[in-house]
Amino acid sequence: MTDTPADDLKPSFRSDVTVELVKHSAADSDVLWAARVSTAGEQSLEELTKDPERSKGLINYLMRDRHGSPFEHNSMTFFISAPIFVFREFMRHRVGWSYNEESGRYRELQPVFYVPGEDRKLVQQGRPGKYEFVAGTEAQQELVERSMQQSYIQAYEQYQEMLAAGVAREVARAVLPVGLFSSMYATCNARSLMHFLGLRTQHELARVPSFPQREIEMVGEKMEAAWAELMPLTYAAFNANGRVAP
């Protein structure tokens, strides 16, 4: 049976994203004991209780020479709320990632939609592979905001009408746009997160340029800030070596 839709749900609009670190087992020492088992065997267990600061040179060596597997022995789980089009880009990152996203088949989707903020650059200049984004005019900003909001409101009204008529959620959701906010849990390790950051953020220290869509970069920046606090030595080595995942 299809739930009766709520009559008081009104569309709301936001220009930000939510990223929360909800669970983790991640520290610089995780890299050290994983690396030292190669040469120390059982004695590598001593690294579990030692101060990783004394071995930051080893972390930098592993990063520089791209010995990547020691950076996989940790875990971080993030709760993320962002537009659906951000998640479609996220799903391209498959190695070292696990995802669980809310389902439009099993719950009535809430009317929260993305509208770019005033600081979001709207105009693309240049050819593919060599382009940049520049700020839009006030008229363009007004057009984007008005067009998106009107489209969202109409789509959600049609969604609600179908639900009220008894149409299954999994069918009715087809009218909803990719600007709708969804939520998910994403679990990764430091190595997979570094690969993500190398592609989905722009940074002055990056050896390889990247051109991410701003909205997924907003998510990446928040994930990066949380990871930097958990594994400061690994994070420093990542930046010192051109932000290339090992």
Enumerate the active-site residues: 200
Phi, psi dihedrals of residue 80, rounded to the nearest 5°: -130, 130
Name the residue with tokens 């008081």: 8
Which residues, 6 or more positions from 105, have their beta carbon under 8 angstroms from its beta carbon?
169, 170, 173
* Residues 212 and 202: beta-carbon distance below 8 Å: yes
DSSP code per residue over 46-72: GGGSS-GGGGHHHHHHHHHTT--GGGG
* Residues 231 and 74: beta-carbon distance below 8 Å: yes
The first and second tokens of residue 221, run together, are 């920046």
Strand partners, 130: 127
Alpha carbon distance, N-terminus to C-terminus of the chain: 50
The first and second tokens of residue 118, run together, are 């005033």
The first and second tokens of residue 99, run together, are 């995802």
Q: Helices in the chain by DSSP H: which ranges?
A: 28-40, 56-64, 84-90, 138-164, 169-172, 190-200, 214-230, 232-240
The first and second tokens of residue 141, run together, are 């900003």
